[in-house]
Structure 1
Amino acid sequence: MIAPSIEKLLTVMDQKGYRVYNTPTIDWNLNIVGIRNKSLVPDKFDDTLVVFHNFLNHWHVSYYPITTDPSIYYLKKPLHPKGTAILLEGQYKGVYEIDKHNNKYYALCQRLGDVSVYRDNDKNGTLELNPATIQTGKFGINIHKGPKNGNWGIDNNPAYSAGCQVFADSRHFKEFMDKCYNGQKAFGNKFTYTLLNQKDLE
């Protein structure tokens, strides 16, 4: 997991011209930032989700192990005719809301706007980020839970992500959703997701 300091995160966000939500007098104005590992390895929860918010001039920061990559299962068996989605790094303002993921449980779902994805269609189980394949639209790139124990072993379904951002541990996901519910009460059901690369923070 990658755990940069809040100072480093704020600097990189500013350098990229990304919005940082900062209301010290009103709590739960959440910044939700994914950090993709510079080594592209599928089926490893080696990426990070950082959630931070400022209240009373103090930044509250939480780090969670996730994957920002689709699983090998879907890389080999794409659901989309043009290939499996891999979310493009960038900031997606106000495109997420709390809604049901696959009509099963509440997660942070891409319902309110577009995101951009690479399409990997060679079906070889590795990650290919080809700019010529980029598509923009509503593809259901949600932020949802993973296994109970953070380990995709024989007890877990290998078809866990067709491009979503997936938590390594469902207990962390519950904690994350509690933060989102607080954010919803304070600022409404609209969230921004920003995806960085580990290289941005070096």
Structure 2
Amino acid sequence: MKSFNTKTITDALKKHDYPFFKGDYNLNIIGVRSNDTDANTFNDVIVVLYELDKKQVMHVFPATTDPGLFYRKNPLNVEGTAIVVPGHYRGVWQIGPHQAKYNALVQRKPMKVYRDNDQDAGLDMDETSIDEGLFGINLHRAGVNNISLQVDKWSAGCQVLADPCDFDLLMALAKKSASMYGPSFSYTLLTEEQL
């Protein structure tokens, strides 16, 4: 993953006409998908960017924006494994239960996904396979106690943080933001090339 800073991210959002939310704790949640989409590792990032006292604060969390190897080979959907299409999804998530286990950011509005149905290790992002709807594409963590190194079963299309401590910080920021701006969170997924 190439290096970037707050300006790189805000410039990429502006270039693609994606919004940037202003105001203290008004969260901009941005995924950046690595060029290496065949890996079964947390080689992507989730960026949380917001303002505080007129300064920009950025957190960069190791994550995956791709489904793990298990679900690439064993799709949950007959149409194929879900891979989120890069773009901006306004108000797509709210704080809520992930698999009835713990609170995460859970999908409440439609998202676009590619459907990869050849059941191999590689990710196929064919525009003719794009599907749109409510598929349970959540933003959650992998393990509860340790940093995860392999994606495997942690994602069937969800956006997943590798480190539970990073996830705890994200959720604390989300709760603070929700108390000020309401319960919905937008998500922008960029590719490494877009930076």
Q: Same fold (TM over 0.5)?
A: yes
Partner of 2:26: 29
Contact 2:38 2:121 in 1 (8 A): no
Supply the AA of the counterpart residue of 2:117.
Answer: N
Partner of 2:137: 141
Could you list the structure 1 runs, at least 4 aligned residues long, displaced by more than 3 angstroms after superposition.
none
CA distance in structure 2 between the aligned counterparts of 1:167 and 1:91, rounded to whole angstroms: 19
CA distance in structure 2 between the aligned counterparts of 1:61 and 1:158, rounded to whole angstroms: 28
Secondary structure of residue in 1 paired with 2:174 = helix
Contact 1:3 1:63 in 2 (8 A): no
From 52, 55, 60, the counterpart of 2:57: 60
From 150, 160, 170, the counterpart of 2:154: 160
Partner of 2:37: 40
1:20 aligns with 2:20: yes
Q: 1:44–1:174: structure 2 CA closer, same or farther, 3 Å change rule? A: same
Q: 1:35–1:60: structure 2 CA closer, same or farther, 3 Å change rule? A: same
Secondary structure of residue in 2 paired with 1:171 = helix
Secondary structure of residue in 2 paired with 1:199 = helix
Overall identity of the aligned pairs, in %: 36
Per-residue CA distance 1:78-119 (angstroms, 9 max, x = gap): 1101000000000000111000011111000111x1100000
Q: 1:3–1:63: structure 2 CA closer, same or farther, 3 Å change rule? A: farther
Partner of 1:10: 10
TM-score when normalising by structure 1: 0.92
Per-residue CA distance 1:126-185 (angstroms, 9 max, x = gap): 1111111000111111000012332346xxx83111100011111111111111011111
From 99, 106, 117, the counterpart of 2:103: 106
Listed as ranges, the gaps of 5+ residues in structure 1 are none
CA distance in structure 2 between the aligned counterparts of 1:179 and 1:7, rounded to whole angstroms: 21
1:195 aligns with 2:192: no
Secondary structure of residue in 2 paired with 1:80 = coil
Contact 2:42 2:149 in 1 (8 A): no
Contact 2:30 2:187 in 1 (8 A): yes
* 1:2 to partner: Cα distance: 5.2
Listed as ranges, the gaps of 5+ residues in structure 2 are none
Contact 1:3 1:48 in 2 (8 A): no
Partner of 1:71: 68
